[in-house]
Amino acid sequence: MSTQVSECPLVQIPEPENRPRAKFHPNIWGDLFITYTPKDEVSRACKEKQVADLKEEVRRELMAAAGNPSQLLNFFDAVQRLGVAYHFEREIEESLQHIYDRFHDAADTNDDLYNIALRFRLLRQQGYNISCGIFNKFKDEKGSFKEDLISNIQGMLGLYEAAHLRVHGENILEEALAFTTTHLKAMVESLGYPLAEQVAHALKRPIRKGLERLEARWYISIYQDEAFHDKTLLKLAKLDFNLVQSLHKEELSNLARWWKKLDFATKLPFARDRLVEGYFWIVGVYFEPQYLWAIRILTKIIVMTTVIDDIYDAYGTLEEIKHFTEAIERWDINSIDHLPEYMKLFYVALLDVYKEIEEEMEKERHQYRVHYAIDAMKNQVRAYFAEAKWFHEQHIPTMEEYMRVALLSSGYSLLATSSFIGMGEIVSKEAFDWVISDPKIIRASTVIARFMDDMTSHKFEQERGHVASGIECYMKQYGVSEEQAYKEFHNQIVNAWMDINQECLKPTAVPMPLLTRVLNLSRVMDVIYKEGDGYTHVGKVMKDNIGSVLIDPII
């Protein structure tokens, strides 16, 4: 590290009259994660040995099911939903390739709705462009879905989940989504456990939009109550979940000590203190143990970006943020001379984070990656500064003006680019060139991030004084009501999800693991922002989610 930021003295920040104002609640976790004590090495090694043995048993079961496509697909579905698919990536890919080659255009099979929908969803999830025409057999002579399907609850649920993998122009899947949603909502109250729980959960968050760790935790509780569950697979899922959770607790404990040493809660009290929430966000992007360093770095980037966001729209004066923007452009420790004291200590800490990235990349001979990360941060700050100027000028931009800046200020271009840094040899320089070229999937992810943020945050932000959100911009430009603006933004989000689905179909522009990071970033938005800004205003839902993933082991 280049500088010991924690040694900076507590600075009394001057209070100009024209500072923006925001009241963010403090960190709610105290020292919970700092005081975490990891299990001893012997205990962890024992658990790892158990997991390794169970993996081999499950692998043998997968091989035994190879001759029965229906059985194999159900097994793969359980493996994925229980959160252990990362152990069997090769087996899953090879088997699904074989199933695709055999069935991708087989619309005349005798399979029922459940099995066809499951095959469609699993193949689409894997990137195979299986035709949605396989569902035509379930329509009547009038072109509507057959009424007798309604009593097939598992089939209806499967079709509902499959419809969330649709791309533009797949009208039959649009119809399927409307058909299944209507009837599943109507029947959910009359179903028994566990089917009622599964339907209610799917209506709230379909598989395509669920965070892998959160969904695994929930599905384990459902799967264990199913009459014909696989005991070996269930045992593996529970042990693996707890083992991975313990790794995350240890990593978060180390990050909490780093964060406390910076002492931003005292020195920058105007900013959101959201390390734990930031870590949860990034575990939604990747949770696998091989990505622990990537998780550490991306967590540091997201919490530092949160502070920058609050400097620009919750505290800094226009003159201060002008100097800060110039300092970021120079990216040089000698640029701090014109900054106020509170910005100096933050600027040094920010450069330290990227110095840490640079040192690690030098070890791996990937020094070029840090330049992409720094450029992404510069773009982020430029967008924040543009929005700050709009606020100070009381300017409400057109939607075209707004989108040029707001898609960057959403932070998702920064996070997508930065998420590639620690992913090892699968990432090439060409992949970084691709991610900064504004490809359709990145743009779709930023649209989801921006519009979901706008829809949940604009009332709070306007009450405290904030740049016009997209909602205000749209209402002014088109002379529509708030309700109409919400409807349009919702439609744009739906379209963005279809763009993501399209870009994840083979052949893909970059390897699927990289696209998965972008997909997962969009999933995080759906989880954290669907019912309000759970990152800024940490309520019961966010606390429960964090508890499930990062605190409470499965008993």
pLDDT given at position 8? 37
Question: What pLDDT is stored for residue 11 in this prediction?
Answer: 40
Would you say 285 and 520 are in contact if contact means Cβ atoms under 8 Å apart?
Answer: yes
Average pLDDT over residues 27-51: 93
Please classify residue 357 by burial: count the beta carbons closer than 10 Å to its beta carbon, then call 0-12 exposed, 13-18 middle and 19+ buried: buried
Is the pLDDT reported for residue 10 higher than 50? no
Confidence of residue 395 (pLDDT cuts 50, 70, 90): very high
| 234 vs 227: CA distance, rounded Å | 12
Please give the pLDDT value at position 130: 96
Which tens digits make up the pLDDT trace of 285-324?
999 999 999 999 999 999 999 999 999 998 999 999 999 9
Averaged pLDDT of the chain: 94
- pTM exceeds 0.85 for this model: yes
Q: Binning pLDDT at 50, 70 and 90, where does residue 272 land? A: very high
Q: What local confidence, expressed as pLDDT, does residue 520 receive?
A: 99
The 3-state secondary structure of 377-424, one letter per residue: HHHHHHHHHHHHHHHHCCCCCCHHHHHHHHHHHCCHHHHHHHHCCCCH
Tell me the pLDDT band of 15, cut-offs 50, 70 and 90: low
Evaluate if residue 19 carries a pLDDT over 90: no
What SS3 state is found at 139? strand
Domains and CATH numbers, the chain: 63-209 (1.50.10.130), 237-551 (1.10.600.10)
Residue type, 47: K
Decide if pLDDT at 234 tops 60.
yes
pLDDT exceeds 80 at position 9 = no
**Are 83 and 549 within 8 A, CB to CB?**
no
The pLDDT of residue 215 is above 70: yes
Alpha carbon separation from 269 to 26, 256, 272, 465 (Å, rounded): 9, 17, 8, 18
Q: What is the pLDDT of residue 179?
A: 99
SS (H, E, C) 246-258: HHHHHHHHHHHHH
Reported confidence tier of residue 217, pLDDT bands at 50, 70, 90: very high
For residue range 67-93, what is the model confidence (pLDDT) as tens digits? Answer: 999 999 999 999 999 999 999 999 999
Q: Residue 258: pLDDT above 90?
A: yes
The beta-carbon contacts of 498-501 under 8 Å, at least 24 apart in sequence, are 498/166, 498/167, 498/168, 499/168, 499/440, 499/441, 499/443, 499/444, 500/441, 500/444, 500/445, 501/124, 501/165, 501/166, 501/167, 501/208
Burial class (CB within 10 angstroms; exposed 0-12, middle 13-18, buried 19+) of 154 = middle
Cα angle value 215/410/547 (rounded, 5°): 30
